Structure 1
Amino acid sequence: MVSVENEARKGRGPWQWFAPTDTKEERRLILKLDLLILPYAFLMFWVSYIDGTNISNAWVSGLSDDLGFHGNQLVHFQTMSTVGQIIGQIPSAIFFSILPMHWIVPGTQLGWGVFTLVQFRAQTYGQLMAYRFMIGFFEASLFPGIWYVLGSWYRPDEIGRRAGMFQMGLPFAALTAGLVQSGASANLDGVNGLAGWRWMFIIVSIMTFPTAFLGFFIWPGTPTMPNKIWIKEKDLAVHRKHFGAMAKNHVKGKHSWALWKGIFLDWKIWTFTIYNNLLYFSDPQPWSGYLLWLKSLGRYSDAKVNSLSATAPGVGMLLVLVINSFADWFGRPVAVLVAQGMNAISTLILIIWDVPEAAKWYAFNTYYADVGMNGVVFSYCQDACRRNDTERGIIVVVINIIAQIFRAWAGNLMFATVDAPRFQKGYGTCFAAAISIMGFTYYVRYLYARQE
């Protein structure tokens, strides 16, 4: 199959960071972009995931008992964040190609930092539901925004490993959230009359604000609207040379009825919507099954539960990087087979459930393999949509919105808190989606080849 990605990969070993054809100036620019984009993208993703998921750590650390919460209210909080993300992404489909990304992403991060902080004062179910909605609303532009910037600066053959590096922020955040809550429970519980879980919300908001302000200066924007603190005209000239014929697609967005009609009549938006939905449905880790299982064992303190919950994301960091590197080295279908093969094994163990406890430890500690698939699916989408920046921004947002709409109701149906920690319906769905996405990848590959 002929593609930009495969052509650029020719003669390039897995250990090589640059393509053999890259000039000295191109390599210098790529390294500069790596230093501006990857550490900060990792940092944003890390902070975002902590702010978005720390409700689960708080739940098992006294929040539910202190405020009298029960039943499925944990999954309600998780779902409300998703609803906020769905609504918040709608304007992103328009703004990404017409406003500077080094304004949009850090600006919205300030918003979710504020609502992360005010959670510490929550007293009622309604208050916390409102705060979770606003956190999701302001977080909405982050994930598609990072992908939009990556696709603007990097060629399709360069995205895989870089996606893995920033997406390591997700398991690292899950790991850190557990350790932060463990420390708060052990050392701050009762200080100034506040429970440990309330201190966690204060701590993670303090982590959020400096990251947001840093973004206004560090985040490079896009080639059409660059952050001129770092990106000079000579950098843009080198970038145009590096991208070759694809550089002509970097134009400021112009929205029209014809553009939107063309997008919705084309194969890409519907195919990648299905692909991304399969990815979302195959992912078991957002529903806190591991954390709730540890709690159900009844043998660990709150601090120990949060500490042990860090093992799965710790393993997940390595899995995310390896799987996305496989996409660069051996092609995306190989990466999909590795990631979803591991995911299918772990979810099958959890479906059976009546297995030795060691098998459950293995299953929970490997189910972050699915997270590595984000980079594969979205890099495929970036590649297929590379001919039109405005189209690319719209499709990335739309496929993410539709997947989150399905997740919003699916969580309540398949991962109801009252079914914890077994979640038989949830893990069954994840297993079926994992098998399906392996086959669907080859259909995507066929359509992509036909387009090329």
Structure 2
Amino acid sequence: MTTRARGLAQDLASEWVVDPFRRLKWGFIPTRRIVDETDLMGNIESAEVEAEAETEAEADVEGDSEILEGKSSNVKVDQHSSEKESVTDSNLEYRDEANRKWWAFFNEQEYRVNEKQAGRAKWWQWFGSGVSKQEKKLLLKLDILLAFYSCMAYWVKYLDSSNLNNAYVSGMREELNFKGNQLVETQVMYTVGNIVFQLPMIFLLDKIPLNFFLPTLDICWSILTLGCSKVNSVPHLKAIRFFIGVFEAPSYLAYQYLFGSFYKHDEMVRRSAFYYLGQYAGIMSAGGIQSAVYAALNGRGGLSGWRWNFIVDGIISVVVGIIGYYSLPGDPYNCYSIFLTDDEIRLARKRLDENNTEKSDFSTKIFDKKVWIRIFSDWKIYVLTLWNIFCWNNNNGSSGAYLLWLKSLKKYSIPEINKLSMITPALGMIYLLVTGIFADKLHSRWGAIVLTQVFNFTGNVILAAWNVPQGAKWFAYALQYFGWAMAPVLYSWQNDICRRDAQARSIILVIMNMLAQTTTAFMSVLVWKTTEAPRFLKGYTWTAVSAVCLSIWTILVLWLYKREERQNARANGIVLYNSKDGAAPPLDKQEA
């Protein structure tokens, strides 16, 4: 091993093993990091910062891989943040709106990012132009600690929720003597538990250390998943599924909130999409795991294959929950991460300020009447909630319709059905990544949403027609996960829309998610009745209608979002005036 390689290995060991271990209390408990805001951060002159940033941006354009090192080995934070410099007069864009084109309405960044910063972004760059070495390092750490772990957590969450459908077609139906609509009723029990216990999060989401809260809930629902292997009746199964829903209730909201606490508006969708990969991986691997477990363990220890599946899923989930105590970082102002340095925490906070994202404050009141008046007197809670209702109802994947159709063909064995169930979520993972990159790198969240719904609408119309060649049905089912491919875009956009008010961001996130999920609880009973399988005319029709409504409502959200960004254009580095109305350019521009 060369001296350079040995030094690199020592640095990695120090940063990822030795230093994190030293930050643990009693060798195993992460504690809240106390970081001095003024230390180091104010010691570098802004002129030096801008010079470093300009040099680095030029290096990116020329393809030079060399990165400027810090001025001192002890100072590991480059004070520059790539997307948005301090809004000084030299960085302002003065924009005359006299000749604004009508199609500028569809430019999502028109009032969000000034021309100087917009011109730096290149669609093929993961980090973007001008991003400092230390910011890239911070983002890479966050991608591992938060985005990758959240993907694992979502994977086990969906593994533990979607395994019901696989168990149903793998012998559970006959063994527990399911009748009529008891499958959909059992699914609804999970949904009800999930909805009801989102209520406390309205008051707690931005006031508790999520790095402890989320893994604890993960372990609790994992134990209940193990309990599913021992059920002997449908009512018993319904009760356990209800409490699994209870413990899973806050997780989805909390991860979305954390993404909005660390990432900027044009970074968030890709990370949220990566989080969503866990959902599709859970749905996909549920079939694969059930198939493998059924083949290898069916009858072992006197247990059916579907019972062994719940045992295996539960064990996996417990392990992921334990990892979460050490991986999840908290948020920049309430950070418990053992892997982030003090300077990286400062940089994360600086990025929040540059994105105009208000920090979480654990000291605020749990219930403040002024906050609620402010929220309910604004458009966001009403428009975003209805928007999310269309989102939650625009997918047929969670109904189990595809699996029930496969079983109705009576040409596949149970292991074959479980393997075929992996096709649609595997395709969904591709749709998800493409949609996330489209939204972030082309800066068109509205376009990503509308495009996915075109495919979603097409697939559901084919299935609603039903009397079509079998190949057309395969094609339609292959499109089914386009419905949810836009969900990371929607939730990331909500984070961005509400970024200036941390309490409103958390409260609106919980309410819009809870009410949207509530609609699925009763709509699934109305339009996805098990007795109507595999036809589901009402289900496919309702999903197609939701896709159309979602697309139309997205245009309204775009208009309201841009209206608010225009009102805050100055904070985004843009000074607006209209010479046709007789307005003169600002004095500072004239003097320049």
Q: Secondary structure at the match of 2:128?
A: coil
Alpha-carbon distance in structure 2 between the residues aligned to 1:271 and 1:322: 26
- Structure 1 counterpart of 2:457, which letter? A
Distance 1:231 1:403, change over 3 A: same
The equivalent position to 1:70 in structure 2, one of 166, 172, 179, is 179
Conserved 8 A contact 1:97-1:389: yes
The equivalent position to 1:422 in structure 2, one of 535, 552, 555, is 535
Q: Secondary structure at the match of 1:168?
A: helix
- When Rg is computed on C-alpha atoms for both structures, the one with the higher figure is 2
- Structure 1 counterpart of 2:473, which letter? K
Structure 1 match to 2:158: 49
Structure 2 match to 1:233: 342
Structure 2 match to 1:275: 387
The equivalent position to 1:412 in structure 2, one of 521, 525, 531, is 525
Alpha-carbon distance in structure 1 between the residues aligned to 2:113 and 2:540: 34
Structure 2 match to 1:172: 281
Conserved 8 A contact 2:356-2:499: no
Q: Which moved further from structure 2: 325-334 or 145-154?
A: 325-334
Distance 1:451 1:76, change over 3 A: same
Structure 2 match to 1:325: 437
Structure 2 match to 1:306: 418
Trace 1:282-431 onto structure 2 (pairs within 5 A).
282-330=394-442, 331-431=444-544
- In the TM superposition, residue 247 of structure 1 has moved relative to its aligned partner by 5.8
Alpha-carbon distance in structure 2 between the residues aligned to 1:394 and 1:229: 29
Alpha-carbon distance in structure 2 between the residues aligned to 1:50 and 1:205: 9
Conserved 8 A contact 1:26-1:242: no
Q: Secondary structure at the match of 2:266?
A: helix
Distance 1:248 1:401, change over 3 A: closer
- In the TM superposition, residue 251 of structure 1 has moved relative to its aligned partner by 3.5
Q: Secondary structure at the match of 1:293?
A: helix
- Structure 2 counterpart of 1:398, which letter? I
- In the TM superposition, residue 397 of structure 1 has moved relative to its aligned partner by 1.0
Alpha-carbon distance in structure 1 between the residues aligned to 2:453 and 2:525: 24
Conserved 8 A contact 1:102-1:215: yes
Q: Which moved further from structure 2: 217-226 or 17-26?
A: 17-26
The equivalent position to 1:160 in structure 2, one of 269, 272, 275, is 269
- Structure 1 counterpart of 2:175, which letter? D
Alpha-carbon distance in structure 2 between the residues aligned to 1:228 and 1:197: 38
- In the TM superposition, residue 168 of structure 1 has moved relative to its aligned partner by 1.1
- In the TM superposition, residue 361 of structure 1 has moved relative to its aligned partner by 0.7
Trace 1:19-168 onto structure 2 (pairs within 5 A).
19-168=128-277
Alpha-carbon distance in structure 2 between the residues aligned to 1:10 and 1:345: 36
- Structure 2 counterpart of 1:288, which letter? G
The equivalent position to 2:329 in structure 1, one of 202, 210, 220, is 220
Residue 181 in 1 paired to residue 290 in 2? Answer: yes
- Structure 2 counterpart of 1:279, which letter? C
Q: Secondary structure at the match of 1:156?
A: coil
Q: TM-score, normalised by structure 2?
A: 0.75
Conserved 8 A contact 2:211-2:324: yes
Q: Secondary structure at the match of 1:89?
A: coil
- In the TM superposition, residue 244 of structure 1 has moved relative to its aligned partner by 3.4
- Structure 2 counterpart of 1:100, which letter? P
Residue 197 in 1 paired to residue 306 in 2? Answer: yes
Q: Which moved further from structure 2: 399-408 or 246-255?
A: 246-255
Conserved 8 A contact 2:191-2:242: yes
Alpha-carbon distance in structure 1 between the residues aligned to 2:326 and 2:160: 22
Structure 1 unmatched runs, 5+ = none
- In the TM superposition, residue 146 of structure 1 has moved relative to its aligned partner by 0.7
- In the TM superposition, residue 114 of structure 1 has moved relative to its aligned partner by 1.0
RMSD, matched Cα: 1.4
Distance 1:230 1:282, change over 3 A: same
Residue 442 in 1 paired to residue 551 in 2? Answer: no
Distance 1:278 1:248, change over 3 A: closer
- Structure 2 counterpart of 1:26, which letter? E
Alpha-carbon distance in structure 1 between the residues aligned to 2:355 and 2:416: 52
Superposed structure 1 runs of 4+ greater than 6 Å apart: none
Alpha-carbon distance in structure 2 between the residues aligned to 1:164 and 1:9: 23
Conserved 8 A contact 2:261-2:357: no
Identity %: 36
Q: Secondary structure at the match of 1:15?
A: coil
Q: Which moved further from structure 2: 434-443 or 249-258?
A: 249-258
Q: Which moved further from structure 2: 16-25 or 58-67?
A: 16-25
Conserved 8 A contact 2:385-2:512: yes
Distance 1:380 1:6, change over 3 A: farther
Q: Secondary structure at the match of 1:249?
A: coil
Q: Deviations over 1:171-225 (max 9, x none)?
A: 1111100011111222211111000000000000010001001000011111121
- In the TM superposition, residue 164 of structure 1 has moved relative to its aligned partner by 1.3
Trace 1:243-262 onto structure 2 (pairs within 5 A).
243-246=352-355, 249-253=358-362, 254-255=364-365, 256-262=368-374
Conserved 8 A contact 2:152-2:278: yes
Conserved 8 A contact 1:4-1:156: no
- In the TM superposition, residue 277 of structure 1 has moved relative to its aligned partner by 0.3
- Structure 1 counterpart of 2:435, which letter? I
Q: Secondary structure at the match of 2:330?
A: coil
Alpha-carbon distance in structure 1 between the residues aligned to 2:478 and 2:212: 37
Alpha-carbon distance in structure 1 between the residues aligned to 2:190 and 2:113: 36
Conserved 8 A contact 1:149-1:221: yes
Q: Which moved further from structure 2: 340-349 or 11-20?
A: 11-20
- In the TM superposition, residue 44 of structure 1 has moved relative to its aligned partner by 0.4
Structure 2 unmatched runs, 5+ = 1-107, 566-592
Distance 1:248 1:300, change over 3 A: closer
Q: Secondary structure at the match of 1:13?
A: coil
Distance 1:129 1:9, change over 3 A: farther
**How many residues align structurally?**
452
